[in-house]
A and B are shown apart, each in its own frame.
Chain A
């Protein structure tokens, strides 16, 4: 997250609302370890990443919902047979991402 701080501080200084998304658990195969972080502002600008690009789009949607509600949330992105069309990691792992507003 260190590398995101200058952008987050710039956005906050501009008065933009920001959501911080962090990988908190990883089960099985996955590209990024716990602590990998991404920040999203209310204009849908993005810095950082939480996977190899597989779930970033879905994380942006969740982040905008967090801005709407003002409530943090824990999201799970995985891949199983009965949700083959759901958003997941192509590598077959499951990650949990915690999203929280920094307003």
Chain B
């Protein structure tokens, strides 16, 4: 350490401020660089013939007519990839027992889900490629399909993979304390509910997109991809296409939303990349909306039977549940499709003191599109189970649910501690959060209003959730299980000759504002105006090695690496300045682009003059002086497997008992993501997340027929939240910095999506309970509500 460290106790010029994002300038002028905006010389376009059935044997594929279409260059079948692509398997060693067979990009003998690619046409335009796809004659023998996850383990059901004894992919049980002992007591109240979570998907507005280009002269593969984890994909393409890792470059420029959808290995994208290598020319594949609904990973298809025991005075004594989830015919590569179930086992009850906990999850194969990690993986299910049971228990013992929460939430001064499932928790603030929440929403007044309105036939409800969110993961998430997924991230910062700095980071930007917060941190910590900071992310060739964007890690891990690199670059500058200025480095600082004297703040030399001296007139400096004006630092979380955040949220809804329509009147969120680097961006992360959570609770569901046909593949019949249905969302923060880093930032990207469904479910049931009915199935569509209301007791 040579110069003064950044002082977080003083207000930063940028850190903690609602600084505008530099990227908006480009995006507001139509100058974004999304994958589909890019055209390469001699580029060809891909379209896919996909399986029309959930399970079938491919008897023949006749491409005679398709080949005749003017503009069709080549047509590929599954067998064409056997010598090119090494099969991939979606398992992780730390999920003991998880099994899934090898996958290939395109089906070879058998199709296992509707939408699975079976042939790929390469043509001079997408339209021509689609023309040709429609002329391919495929003869299929339809086979019996196992589509229903709840019966997939039954003996009568077809076993999808004959090498296995059943359709079970993975199972895990957690058993802590002794729930049976609790049930034997006669002074406990037990509530039981079945929770059903609909299968839904991420629906980023920009569909999955890829352009792959291969240059045989250098054995170089370049992949432009709309995605979250360039280095992960670099490793995957290298490993499975047999190209040295350093010869694979993966570039993510502007990404039109991702939400966890764009971090997996999809057959169509893999095929496009492999064909670029085979044909030695650029191939573009842009999924259309039908393909997005059919083949983007789905999530959250869970049926959970849950149980909670509370004492008469409202203490939670036990939580128990069994979960079943169907993941499609394979576990997705490389993150696997068992993580969501694992998270549910890990997280349920996490905000509370839960002395006895027993939970089981079964992950089963089925003939449907694959399920995998989508924003807030597992959280919406885990939070809805526990807080749904909390509200049921409170109603059963006639206690206000906020009171019951306060009795059981882990005390703010009780950290570090662990969840019932054994995860380490620290630096959380559940009590502060819920206290602030009830104050912010004026809970008592709202309750009185609801009671009055109920007498007038207006059915309103208030629902709460207290939650935790996994952020800033350590290698415990994937690395320990053998996945080549980095949990550390790096940042390089260099001083330019003009006095500006260039930050290059391995975390990525999909609109969250990652680039902006990295610039804020670099500008404040190093000491320049933010206009003098350029940020590069999303390119394996020009950024340090790292994980990218997942599990809410951009600010906490990527930001910390930038903080460390900015301090290191500052030390380099002050060392050089001290020689040039004949001062001690500890007497100097950098402020507004100048080296200044500490105390007086007098300018001694501008950064551009200093840089120019080093770069152009090195003869003026001592010959043994280090010339580095570039620093790289990496950061990983070492003290904990994950850095948890917490939040308390509440929804206020009105249920129209005639139509079954639920209107969300208001939503409040109090969130603790540690140090807030940019409140404007964090608030909008929370709001966007809440809206996705409301969508899943009220509207969104991938509907399959019993035969495994997806019935809603357009935005006209898969309903997403639009502006008119959404409420004002009021956001407040508590800042409990994590002790694992200097910056103290935790993640904020997934809390809204993780918590909002539980708040909505609880609000609707708060409106239903006086009518003598409840419903714990999402989405809570008007039809489901009307069905529930058939048994209602209207006084």
Q: Do A and B come from one complex?
A: no
Q: Which residues of A contact B (CB under 8 A)?
A: none
